[in-house]
Amino acid sequence: MSKLASHYYLGDWRLEGGLSNATAVCDPATGHIIGLCPTMDHQDVIPQIFAAARASQRYWYHEVSIPEKQKIFLRIAKLFEKHRGELVWTMVKEGGKLWKWADAEVTEAIDTYTDYHGELNRVYSSRGVSRCQMQKKVVESYRKPKGVIFAIGPWNFPLAIIDAWKTAGALAGGNAVILKPAEQTPFTAQLGVELIHEAMRDVLETRFQNIANLVQLLQGKGEVTGKLILESGLYNKVVFTGGIDTGRVVASTAGRFIRECHLELGGHAAMVVLSDFDLERAIQEAIRGCLGDAGQRCVSTRVLWIPEHSFQTSLQRYIDLAKQFRVGRPDDFQTDMGPLVSKEQLDRVDDMVQKTIRQGGVCVLGGYPLNKDTVTRAKEEGLNFDEEAVCAGGYYYAPTVFVNIPCGVAAMDEEIFGPVICVNALPGCTLREEFENGVRLINRARQGLSNAILTNDAVLIKEAPFYIETGILYGRRGTTGAETNQDFGGVKDSGFGTEGRGIESFTDPMTYYIDLADEPRMAQAGEDEKIQRLLSSTKSPFFDFD
Ligand code: NAD
C-alpha cells in the first residue's frame, strides 16, 4: 500500500498542491512505488505562511520561557527515542539506508536536541556588559533571533539534517522555521515534524496554538516548491544542504533579496596515509569511509593516497576487503552496503564512472550497476552479494575502484555520490615529502569539506590543520564521523557557514549602548578648539578653482 506525504502549514496537515505534479517515492531496494510526494505550488498562500510563522516566532521568543523550551527539546528527544523503530523503518524504506545507519541517524537527532537543550541558557543571555571607551557609558551584547529560517534539505540525512540540525538550531535561536525536505524522502521529515509538534503540545498544552506555525513543512520538487519559496524573499535566512549546482541557485536568489545564506554543499574527501601509519588500519578506515551508506555521504572518502612503496599491497588489500563487503537489502542484518537512493542517482553515478573510463581511468573493480544483467560478471569478480536482493529491481551499484587517476579526470574532480574510490600513489621519499605532497593534492580540489591525514608523527599531525584547506579535518582516522556538538561545514566550493554548534548562525548580534552621563556626547568626537587649531595649522591638499 502506498502512502501520501502531506504538507503542514497554517496550522493544519494538508494534501493540496496537485497530485498531478507529485513525485513517486520508491523503495530503493526493489524500485517499487511506496508513496507519493505532492508538490506544494500554491504561490498565493506563501505570504500567509510567512506571516503565520512570524506570529508564532514572536510568541516563541517572548512568551515561552527557557525552561519550557528546554522541556520541549528534551521531550522531542524522548519522542524520537520512543518512535525510533518507526523512524528507522521510514528511512530504510524510502532512502534505502542500512538499518544500522538509520538507527545511528536517530541517535544523532536525539543528541542534537539534547545538546541544544543545554545551549539554550547561553543563547539568550547577554554576552556580558563591558565598559565603553567613554566614561560613564556601558555596552551590552545580545544574540537576537533572525526571524523565519527557510531550510532546504537533501535525501541522504533526512532526519538529522532537516528535523534536527536545521530545526533544532533555528528553534534554539528563537526563530520559526519553514522546512522543504527532499522529494525522495518526504516521510521521514514528516514523521519528525509530527513528533516535534507532539512534544510542543505535551509541554505547552493549549498554548500550543500560539506556536502552531513555528515549524511548517512544505513538500515537493526543488525546482517548484523550493524555487517558489526562495523567490518570495520573505525569509530572513536560508539554510541549504545539497549539491553544488543547486547551492549556486540558492545563493544567487537569496543574494537578490540581500538575505543571508548558509550552504552545506558537496565534498571530495581525500585520505592521505603517510608511511609511518598502520596500513591495514588505514585501509579499513577507507573501506568504511567509501562504502558506508553506499558512498552517499558528503564526507564519504573519494580518494585514498597511499605511499608509493606499499602501493600494490595496499591496493590489493582494499580490493579484497571491498569484495568481501556484502551488498544486499538494507533491512538484512548481514548487509554491509545497500542500494543507492533512486534510479536517477544510480544513472548519475554510472554516467560519471563511464565518463572516467572514457577519459582513460583504469577501473580495477566494479564500475557497473549490480542487477540481474550483471550478476555473472559480479560473481566472476568475486563480489559478495545477496543475489535475490540485487535481482529484485532495486538501485544497487558494485563497489568500484579506480587506480592512479590523474587530476582533471571526472572521478578526481567531481563528486561521484556512490561507492566509488580512486586509490592513488602518494609520492615522497621522506615523511615530510609525503606530507607536503599530500597537502598539495588535497588543496588542489575545488571542494573543501572533509579530509584526513593519517600519520603517527607528532609534529606533522599538529601542522596539518594550518596547511590543509578544509572545513573538517581528521587526524589518524578516515573522513567520516562528525559529532553533533561541533562545527560542521565546508570551505571553497563546499559552501560556507556552520551547523552543529550552530546557535551563532541562527542569531544576529545586537550591540546595546547605555549612556549614564547627562550631557549629549559622541564617541570619537574631538574638542572644537583643538580641531580649529589643527585646521589653521594644516594646508588643504586641494586647489580652489573659483
Ligand atoms: P540537490 O541539490 O539535488 O537537492 C537538495 C535539495 O534542494 C532538495 O530538497 C531539492 O528538492 C532542493 N532543490 C533542488 N533544486 C532546487 C531549486 N532550484 N530551488 C530550491 N531548492 C531546490 O541535492 P541532493 O541530490 O538531494 O543531495 C546530494 C547532495 O547533497 C550531494 O552533493 C551531497 O554532497 C550534498 N550534501 C551535503 C552535505 C553537507 O553537509 N555538506 C550533507 C549531505 C548532502
CA of 270 to the centre of ligand 1 (A): 21
For 37-63, write each residue's pLDDT tens digit. 999 999 999 999 999 999 999 999 999
Q: Which atom of ligand 1 sits closest to the CA of residue 182?
A: 9
- What does the pLDDT read at residue 126? 54
* C-alpha span between 461 and 397 (Å, rounded): 35
Alpha carbon nearest to ligand 1 atom 22, residue: 222
- The CATH classification number of 42-265+499-507 equals 3.40.605.10
CA of 265 to the centre of ligand 1 (A): 7
> What is the edge-to-edge ordering of all strands in the sheet holding 301-307?
362-365, 400-403, 420-426, 301-307, 269-273, 450-454, 472-475
Alpha carbon nearest to ligand 1 atom 8, residue: 182
Contact (CB, 8 A) for 454 and 273: yes
CA of 182 to the centre of ligand 1 (A): 7
CA of 224 to the centre of ligand 1 (A): 14
Cβ burial of 326 (10 Å; 0-12, 13-18, 19+) is: middle
Alpha carbon nearest to ligand 1 atom 9, residue: 182
- What does the pLDDT read at residue 167? 97
CA of 243 to the centre of ligand 1 (A): 4
- What does the pLDDT read at residue 120? 84
Alpha carbon nearest to ligand 1 atom 35, residue: 242
Alpha carbon nearest to ligand 1 atom 34, residue: 266
For 271-293, write each residue's pLDDT tens digit. 999 999 999 999 999 999 999 99
Closest CA to 321 of 383, 273, 395: 383
- What does the pLDDT read at residue 124? 63
Alpha carbon nearest to ligand 1 atom 4, residue: 242
- Which residues line the pocket of ligand 1, CB cutoff 6 A? 152-157, 180, 182-183, 222-223, 226-227, 230, 241-243, 246, 249-250, 264-267, 298, 415, 417, 449, 490
* C-alpha span between 293 and 96 (Å, rounded): 9
Pocket perturbation via mutation, ligand 1, pick of 39, 246, 480, 488 by most ligand atoms within 8 A of CB: 246
Hey, what's the cell of 40?
Answer: 506544494
Q: Which atom of ligand 1 sits closest to the CA of residue 265?
A: 41
Query: Which residue has 537527532 as its cell numbers?
Result: 109
CA of 153 to the centre of ligand 1 (A): 6
Alpha carbon nearest to ligand 1 atom 16, residue: 222
Residue 247: phi and psi, rounded to 5, are: -60, -40
Q: Which atom of ligand 1 sits closest to the CA of residue 267?
A: 34
* C-alpha span between 105 and 97 (Å, rounded): 10
Closest CA to 181 of 149, 138, 151: 151
Residue 167 is inside which H or E element, if any? helix 167-172
Q: Which atom of ligand 1 sits closest to the CA of residue 152?
A: 9
Looking at this protein, which amino acid is placed at residue 528? D
- What does the pLDDT read at residue 502? 65
Cβ burial of 385 (10 Å; 0-12, 13-18, 19+) is: buried
CA of 154 to the centre of ligand 1 (A): 5
CA of 245 to the centre of ligand 1 (A): 9
Domain with CATH 3.40.309.10 in the chain: 269-483
Alpha carbon nearest to ligand 1 atom 12, residue: 222
- What does the pLDDT read at residue 392? 97
Q: Which residue stretches of the chain have pLDDT < 50?
A: none
* Helix/strand/coil (H/E/C) assignment for every residue in 57-111: HHHHHHHCCHHHHHHHHHHHHHHHHHCHHHHHHHHHHHHCCCHHHHHHHHHHHHH
- What does the pLDDT read at residue 127? 63
Pocket perturbation via mutation, ligand 1, pick of 21, 91, 241 by most ligand atoms within 8 A of CB: 241
Domain at 269-483, CATH homologous superfamily: Aldehyde Dehydrogenase; Chain A, domain 2 (3.40.309.10)
- What does the pLDDT read at residue 18? 57
Domain with CATH 3.40.605.10 in the chain: 42-265+499-507
* C-alpha span between 183 and 185 (Å, rounded): 6
